[in-house]
Structure 1
Amino acid sequence: MTKIKTLTIQFDTPLRRSEIPLFRGAIIAAIPSSNILFHNHDGSSLRYAYPLIQYKRIGGKAAITCIGEGVDAMGEFFSINKDYKIRLGEETRNLPLQNIQAQQTEIQCWDCKFDYRIRDWLPLNEKNYNVFNETTDIIDRINILEKILVGNILSLAKGLSMNISSTITVSITDIENIRDIRYKRVPLRCMDIRFRSNISLPNFIGIGKHTSVGFGIITKEKN
């Protein structure tokens, strides 16, 4: 049984959704060692593994979630950035700490069920985007999304070098705020969902596409 450590740092710094990529770039620019975990590329090639440092907007403010090795890497930022200031686009912004949450979570299946919410989930790739749009029955649409969600969870576990041997069950209980967005000029379908599952997952971890810039944030609902 393996526990995954996570660290979510919330700053008292307002951040718009569109500013998350700028926030990510500002943090990367503040790291002199160019640690690959902060940006997932080494200048010539991409690190295609699950991002262990994720830049987010939580409660309308800037936040970073670190997973596994990313927790240790984050110490470098705080060791060299003692005044907690970054350059966000053309502005200099302070990063006063608001809250720090450390967790250790066993990502595994249990006999009980957990209630979760995912904000700004991007479940659809080019192939299943067309299938989803051509499906008019709401039950069939939910079935498509549930299969994708199980796949996302398995990809997350694989990215964290964890093997889930038990069967993951998910049941989507609510879908809201479905909207079309563009990210890097690519049209995407974004949505918020609530679901129940037999697997335990850490708070604020990302799932699905573009998790490094704040999409697909999971939070556990209070049962």
Structure 2
Amino acid sequence: MALTTITFPEIHLQPRDAHKLRGYFGELFRAHSPLLHNHYEDGTYRQQYPLVQYKVLDGTPTLVGLGDGANLLVQLFLHIRELDIDGRHYAVQAKHIVHQPAPIGFCAELHRYRFATRWMPLNQENHREYQQLDPAGQRAQLTRILTNNLVALLKAAGAYAPDLPRLLVHLALGEPVVTQFKNQPMLGFGGEFIANVLVPDGLGLGKSVARGFGAVQRVD
């Protein structure tokens, strides 16, 4: 499956600005595709894994597209001339694009990944459950959630089937950090995980990956 990554190396933003990137591009190119903002014309929300994601990685504004989202970003690349973040205009003097096949799926080897941005696994319902568990239970719950996150990505990439090998996941997370999301406190996690899957750098796992959360980078 194709993966497109667009970066703006001369513009520096904060990780919290990722959702503003999404708002800007989603509005700028609203007529092109619901993949850019995950809303259909009737206002309903697109529930599937986001195929266009907006991130700030190491201070650099970054757009990542997968599959149809990858092809869409290629079409729009030449039309990106500036960024408007909270009314502050950034002229785009340099922009880089990489469009290439991305291996995604099960593999025989285990690979180690780190979360380049905070992973947000919990919603209101499972957050309450998480708070009531002992440390071992919390770890088991987070492992189940990450496993489901990986399955969602594999399904979006057409790389999942029930008869495939069992997904193996091992988590090594730091202490949770309270992260503001839509003016609500949410738990975000940093750290690493090991799994028997191939995941391209930059793609997100968990909640709100379109807004920059849960971006992974392969370590080994």
Asked if the contact 1:40–1:51 (Cα under 8 Å) also holds between the matched residues in 2, the reply is yes
What residue is the counterpart of 1:75 in the other structure? Answer: 74
Q: Would the alpha carbon gap of residues 100 and 80 (structure 1) be closer, same or farther in structure 2, given more than 3 Å must change?
A: closer
Q: Give, in angstroms, the shift of residue 141 of structure 1.
A: 2.3
1:53 counterpart residue number: 52
Identity of aligned residues (%): 23
Which of 8, 12, 17 is the equivalent residue of 1:11? 8
Tell me the matched-pair count: 215
Deviation at 1:37, TM superposition (A): 1.3
Identify which range, 62-71 or 160-169, moves more after superposition: 160-169
Question: Structure 1: which amino acid aligns with 2:23?
Answer: G
Q: CA deviation at 1:62?
A: 0.7
> What is the identity, as a one-letter code, of the residue corresponding to 2:155?
K
2:183 corresponds in structure 1 to 185
Q: Which residue identity lines up with residue 72 of structure 1 in the other structure?
A: N
| Mapping for residues 161-200 of structure 1, pairs under 5 Å | 161-164=158-161, 165-172=164-171, 174-176=172-174, 178-200=176-198
Counterpart CA distance in 1 for 2:55 and 2:45 is: 21
| Among 131, 150, 153, the residue aligned to 1:153 | 150
Structure 1 match to 2:36: 38
**Matching residue of 2:24:** 26
Instruction: Flag the 1:43–1:14 CA change in 2: closer, same or farther, 3 A.
Output: same
Give the counterpart of 2:86 among 85, 89, 92. 89
SS across alignment from 1:97: coil
**Whole-angstrom CA distance in 2 between matches of 1:89 and 1:97:** 21
Question: Deviation of residue 158 (structure 1)?
Answer: 2.1
> What do you get for the CA RMSD once the two structures are aligned?
1.9
Label 1:177 to 1:92 Cα distance change in 2 as closer, same or farther (>3 A): farther
Q: Tell me, what secondary structure is at the counterpart of 1:204?
A: coil
Contact 2:4 2:73 in 1 (8 A): no
Tell me, yes or no, if the aligned pair for 2:14 and 2:56 is still in contact at 8 Å: yes
Q: Separation in 1 of the partners of 2:82 and 2:90?
A: 6
Deviations along 1:150-204, one digit per CA (max 9) or x if unpaired, are 01111122233332422100111x2125211221133311011201111111111
Deviates more, 1:50-59 or 1:34-43: 34-43
Using the size of structure 1 for normalisation, the TM-score is 0.88
The gaps in structure 2 that reach 5 residues or longer are none
1:132 counterpart = 2:130: yes
TM-score (norm 2): 0.89
Instruction: Specify whether residues 9 and 177 from structure 1 end up closer, same or farther in structure 2 by C-alpha distance, changes over 3 A only.
Output: farther
2: distance between equivalents of 1:67 and 1:186? 29
CA distance in 2, matches of 1:162, 1:197: 15
CA contact (8 A) 1:105 1:202 kept: yes
Unpaired runs of 5+ in structure 1?
none
Query: More displaced, 14-23 or 49-58?
Result: 14-23
Identify, as 1 or 2, the structure richer in strand: 1
* Cα deviations by residue, 1:73-92 (Å, 9 ceiling, x for unpaired): 113322333xx212222111
Q: Specify which of 97, 107, 112 is matched with residue 109 of structure 2.
A: 112
